Structure 1
Amino acid sequence: MSYELQRVARQASEAKQLAVHASRALNDLKRGAKSGLSGRDRFVRHALLRLLAAGRHGVSYQDVWKERYGERAVTDPAMTTVPTWAAELSATDVGEFLSSGVTPLALSRLAAYGRTISLAGISTLKIPYRPPGDPAGGWIAEGQPIPIDSLDFGNVMLSPKKAAAISIFSGELKKRSNPDIEALIDAALRADIATIVDTALLDDQPGSISRPAGLRYNVTAVPASAATDPVAAMRADLARLVGEIMAGGGTSPVVLVSPVQAVSFGFLPSFTYPVIDTAALDPGIVIAVDGPGFISGTATAEIDSSKDAILHEEDTTPLPIVAGGTAAAPSRSLWQTDSLAVRCVAEVAWGIPAGRVAWMEAVKW
């Protein structure tokens, strides 16, 4: 009798679990959602939850998650450690967010050919690499010693830097764009972060306490071909850039160009190496990077939102709102203008051994 009761209890428990899973699936269908969110979707939803909770006193973004996505029929608690269950409450997917979508960052596309590391909890990281030189070993006679290389390693230093952006939306966003609000947040965050990160990645500026060095920093441009025929000039330019990478110890170049130059690759359908086009490069500039030598990483992003802050609307040299009795201008009160702001701070770093980058400007194709 006791055994029968245990069996019935077990069957009832299994039926309950089946009902729970069915309830979740039905709720997913009602919302038109998939059960497994991508990292990009989780990151965007996290930003959205922060945005929708802004200005609602006593309401947390966890409460907004329950209102918008929560499973009211389920009794077991939501856990951010389960990918399909409240994972939107943690902004841990910044890497996948930056590398996906219609316009992934040039940093993310280049990182796909190199080495990617996590920067969580890291202040400074030294990554060794072997400089180009004579290979170790060789052909030897019987009983003779094997040649040994000195193995003097170099180091690439990575120190995470903060790429930060604030995106402003009108208060009507929550009222009139409910079906498309995630797409709007996605596009705004991606555009802001991409402009900051990719521009720094591809410029010629030195590193500082606030940013990593650009790939072109301390790298002298090689002359572009003087050939008048664009196709001949293109072939000569690319051969020169690839040769520079190989001479520096690289093995597999990746070419970065502006969208204007990317069109010309249609005339070289059999070009061997990967090509990345990005609006962060001015027309006429072409960069070659040793893909396997490129090292990059990201850490968990910090996302917050406000409806009450006062902002100095300046994209180059923002100032304190009031300093020495002088108010920064132009300023915006989010409360007065019924606006919302989302702030994203992402830790990013990159590096590459010396000799693994080559570039030229004023190409004729």
Structure 2
Amino acid sequence: LARSLNVSDDTIDLVFGKQASAGVVNRGGGSHGEHAADTSPRKTTTMTTPLIKRIEDAQERLVALKDQLTDHLGTIGDEPDEASSVMTEELNGKIAIQQRSLDSLKQAEERLAATIPEPSAVVTKSSRPFAVAAKKVNPADYVLRALVAAVVSKATRGDKSPLQALVERYGEDGKIDDATRTVFESVTRTATAPATTTTSGWASQLVEQSNQGFMELLMPASVYPGLASRGLRLNFGRSGIIAIPNRTATPTIAGSFVAEGSPIPVRQGAFGSVTFTPKKMAVISTFTREIFEHSTPAIEGLIRNAIQEDTSVAMDTVLLDATAASTTRPAGLRFGVTVTPATAGGGFAALVGDLKALAGALITASNGNLRSPVWVMNPVNALAVSLTQNAGGDFPFASEINNNTFQGYPVIMSATVTAGMVFLVDAADFVAIEGGAPRFDVSDQATLHMEDTTPLAISAAGAPNTVAAPVRSLYQTDSMALRMIMDVNWGMRRAGVIAWTQNVTW
């Protein structure tokens, strides 16, 4: 276009430039200088240490400095010389500097992480494989599994060993999980490697959890677990005696106001101890063979109910009586505790009167130091509390009883408690000591004296000879018996933490 307008070549070169290969047009007759060297700074990329690696290195340096300080302090005595003191200060200074550096790196990491957007979810078209979530097993159920296996083995007249019955009912592909096997071996006292139950680790912890779970299995029907869960719970282990120290109420070690220049009183408290030794609690439940043979799907529930009914009655009967401790049994809660007279007249006034009397007796005897008070009563009396009306026709305690509380204190209900008898106990002072896993045995050939209160020997020589009655032969009647034996003891750490009444009129 420029050439069609008759524009000169020099003008075209000036406006549009010229190819480098054609040279440079010299204008003005002067010589051209050389091109200046490009000295502009260029951005270079250097490899830097990742932040996470710098944090790890800083942590290692900090640990090394602390180790040096520990070693140094171990070599100096209680009165270090000047050189040792200087070294200690120098190491402390280095540790402080290194700690600040590490904190700065961690803060930088947190701030950088906050600026990184969340990764978007990746959606794949591949189908998700079907899987069934593993069923969670209550620790107490492991004990029940062992009992079911033992009973089924007896019911089959030995055709199946307890282990075979366990695998058949609770195994998969001919195997059982380690948890089921461990508790089974502990409960049935079968041969096992010592490391599974006597050394620390998951197995011993599982056995302990199963034992506690077994006691919690009795919770709906027994007073003992309700008190034990709120008090001090120990295990005999390999100890034959456990002594728990306690402080007597007198003499007091309270401070006193002292005049200027007068001597300050010196007081010394008195301490004692409560000693516990293992006591054997045992109970036997009998069943006909037909019950197990025709209740195979529900055999676990059958054993659960048998344990709940028989064991709770056996323990609570002793726990709630007024008998002193002996070499055979623990003391009952009512032993040595004076009964609080019940309020006469019935109705709302009598209920409030008994409430005030029991709470007042416990507060007075414990000097107001209540930590975990609980009510213990028969379900019939708990129902009576909820249905008691005040003068206005309202049921002021109904909502509390429905939530198993009464005046803010938890309520433990058990049919073993005599109707009309109510306890108020500071459960924080209740001590429960158990001897590990309960032992269960199944027999189909024993001869038993069918007595639940004062069982006797089957026969005793004398003048005349005596024979216990009634007696049942398990072999003759085609029956089985499940026996449970466990070491347990209980008691109160201090006096004045139990109040009780009887023959309530509401």
- TM-score category, normalised to shorter length: 0.7 to 0.9
Identity of aligned residues (%): 36
SS of equivalent to 2:325: coil
Alpha-carbon distance between aligned partners in 1 of 2:273 and 2:431, rounded to the nearest angstrom: 11
User: 1:1-365 maps to which residues of 2 (within 5 A)?
Assistant: 35-54=135-154, 56-57=157-158, 59-72=160-173, 82-83=178-179, 86-91=182-187, 92=207, 93-100=210-217, 103-133=220-250, 134=252, 136-137=254-255, 149-226=267-344, 228=345, 230-249=347-366, 250-252=369-371, 253-266=373-386, 267-268=396-397, 269=400, 271-299=407-435, 300-324=437-461, 327-352=467-492, 353-365=494-506
Larger radius of gyration: 2
Alpha-carbon distance between aligned partners in 2 of 1:140 and 1:65, rounded to the nearest angstrom: 74
Task: Call closer, same or farther: CA 1:139–1:40 in 2, change over 3 Å.
Answer: farther
Check conservation: 2:168, 2:174, Cα contact below 8 A. no
Q: Deviation at 1:36?
A: 3.5
Q: Deviation at 1:45?
A: 1.6
One-letter amino acid of the structure 2 residue matched with residue 103 of structure 1: P
Instruction: Give TM-score, length-normalised by structure 1.
Output: 0.80
Check conservation: 1:46, 1:90, Cα contact below 8 A. no
Name the one with the larger helix percent: 2
Check conservation: 1:136, 1:147, Cα contact below 8 A. no
Alignment-derived partner of residue 123 in structure 2: none
Alpha-carbon distance between aligned partners in 2 of 1:287 and 1:328, rounded to the nearest angstrom: 37
Task: Call closer, same or farther: CA 1:274–1:132 in 2, change over 3 Å.
Answer: farther
One-letter amino acid of the structure 1 residue matched with residue 352 of structure 2: R
Task: Call closer, same or farther: CA 1:309–1:245 in 2, change over 3 Å.
Answer: same
Task: Call closer, same or farther: CA 1:71–1:219 in 2, change over 3 Å.
Answer: same
Alpha-carbon distance between aligned partners in 1 of 2:338 and 2:466, rounded to the nearest angstrom: 43
Moved more, 120-129 or 335-344: 120-129
Per-residue CA deviation, residues 280-330 of structure 1 (Å, 9 max, x unaligned), is 211221111112111112222111011122222222332333433654332
Check conservation: 1:36, 1:84, Cα contact below 8 A. no
CA RMSD of aligned residues (A): 2.9
One-letter amino acid of the structure 2 residue matched with residue 276 of structure 1: I
Check conservation: 1:303, 1:343, Cα contact below 8 A. yes
Check conservation: 1:94, 1:298, Cα contact below 8 A. no
Moved more, 337-346 or 116-125: 116-125
Alpha-carbon distance between aligned partners in 2 of 1:148 and 1:201, rounded to the nearest angstrom: 42
Unpaired runs of at least 5, structure 1: 1-21
One-letter amino acid of the structure 1 residue matched with residue 430 of structure 2: F
Per-residue CA deviation, residues 91-134 of structure 1 (Å, 9 max, x unaligned), is 35343222236724211011222111113333222111223354
Moved more, 118-127 or 134-143: 134-143
The higher-RCO structure (CA 8 Å, 6+ apart) is 1
Q: Deviation at 1:73?
A: 5.5
Alpha-carbon distance between aligned partners in 2 of 1:213 and 1:296, rounded to the nearest angstrom: 12
SS of equivalent to 2:486: strand
Moved more, 126-135 or 284-293: 126-135
Check conservation: 2:432, 2:489, Cα contact below 8 A. yes
Check conservation: 1:37, 1:84, Cα contact below 8 A. no
One-letter amino acid of the structure 1 residue matched with residue 444 of structure 2: K
SS of equivalent to 1:364: coil
Alpha-carbon distance between aligned partners in 2 of 1:339 and 1:320, rounded to the nearest angstrom: 20
Task: Call closer, same or farther: CA 1:73–1:43 in 2, change over 3 Å.
Answer: closer
Task: Call closer, same or farther: CA 1:322–1:151 in 2, change over 3 Å.
Answer: same
One-letter amino acid of the structure 1 residue matched with residue 350 of structure 2: A
Check conservation: 2:221, 2:309, Cα contact below 8 A. no
Per-residue CA deviation, residues 20-69 of structure 1 (Å, 9 max, x unaligned), is xx9xx87xx8xxxx644222211222222221222744753223222322
One-letter amino acid of the structure 2 residue matched with residue 108 of structure 1: P
Alignment-derived partner of residue 13 in structure 1: none
Q: Deviation at 1:336?
A: 2.1
Check conservation: 1:62, 1:89, Cα contact below 8 A. no
Check conservation: 1:52, 1:61, Cα contact below 8 A. yes
Task: Call closer, same or farther: CA 1:139–1:200 in 2, change over 3 Å.
Answer: same
Q: Deviation at 1:141?
A: 8.7
Check conservation: 1:258, 1:278, Cα contact below 8 A. yes
Q: Deviation at 1:350?
A: 0.8
Instruction: Give TM-score, length-normalised by structure 2.
Output: 0.59
Moved more, 189-198 or 156-165: 156-165
Unpaired runs of at least 5, structure 2: 1-128, 188-206, 387-395, 401-405
